A = this chain, B = another copy of it.
């Protein structure tokens, strides 16, 4: 690869003059500039980032840690894809700031994080974005002391700046939308109870019920575990079974996410329950590949992952420029309710046959 010295020699000037042409930081005569540019073109010269950053002591790099790239492979991940949207949002902002993203992947293994950060340090990254695969508390302190960091989709109790989804607000708004259609028996098929998202959304669900003076019925809330287990469909089946063999059957079902809603569509159909005529269904995430493609299209609460990534990147850039004094509590990002065909007014009375298939085995 040609160097600035090669260019200088070919143009018959000093290296420093070539540098001046490159950086436009001092006047250069038109004639000289042309000669230098011609030499650069002829040699295919591209300045070395390494040489620059060693002198300036600025790398122009932002490190980003994610498990998205690997997690997307595992059905196990309750929210593997979202990380990707977060990365996208961050990427767009970082790029506009003329910096370069160094993306590293944990491969799903948290114990690799220190190594990744070590590599970042070797590259002298100016800041780090840490993206969790789902909304959760971060139980370890990240290494890399002195490097500004922003957490995304997770938070710690050390006051590290963080950006998280507004799970509670999202479920609250979504449940309100269901209530606004006239539903009173609203079942909720949650994700794993231990998840931060589940706790917060349940809170939003109850809050909406309370405000509408609809009594909370524990029998209408069932937890499933979407961790790709073989018995996944069975769990959902059993949960629905409980809903539809109860005295008062639900007229709408909230699902922990869009994927869960997709499974529910199939099982309701098998039981002879039409969506949305017999029962409305709503999801969560607005995972559009699912929500817009399902038939009927799925009503769901948008989880604005891209916006989270963008916001986090902005916060980080703010920290770097020394402007921002970041909030010590996580920033919550809210999304819209996407009202689609799967949510309609309930019928006055549900009359379909309910076939209990409890105990059936997976095909």
Contact = CB atoms under 8 A, between A and B. Distances in A.
16 contacts: A1-B124, A47-B122, A48-B54, A50-B50, A69-B84, A69-B88, A70-B92, A75-B292, A91-B107, A100-B123, A233-B297, A262-B290, A266-B294, A266-B296, A296-B363, A297-B363
Given A75-B289, A103-B103, A46 B118 contact: yes
A97 B269 CA distance: 50
Interface of A: 1, 44, 46-51, 53-54, 57, 59, 68-70, 72-73, 75, 81, 84-85, 87-88, 91-92, 95, 100-105, 107, 118-119, 121-124, 145, 228, 232-233, 259, 262-263, 265-267, 269-270, 288-290, 292-297, 306, 341, 363
A299 to B, nearest CB: 11
A353 to B, nearest CB: 16
A253 to B, nearest CB: 14
Given A267-B295, A269-B295, 4 more contacts: A70-B92, A72-B81, A72-B84, A262-B294
Nearest to A92: B107
A128 to B, nearest CB: 14
B44 A145 contact: yes
B103 A119 contact: no
Nearest to A68: B84
Contact of A295 (B104, B265, B293): B265
A100 B118 CA distance: 12
Nearest to A1: B124
Contacts of A47: 122
B107 A75 contact: no
A54 B46 contact: no
A293 B57 CA distance: 50
Contacts of A267: 295
Contacts of A289: 75, 81, 259, 290
A95 B297 CA distance: 41
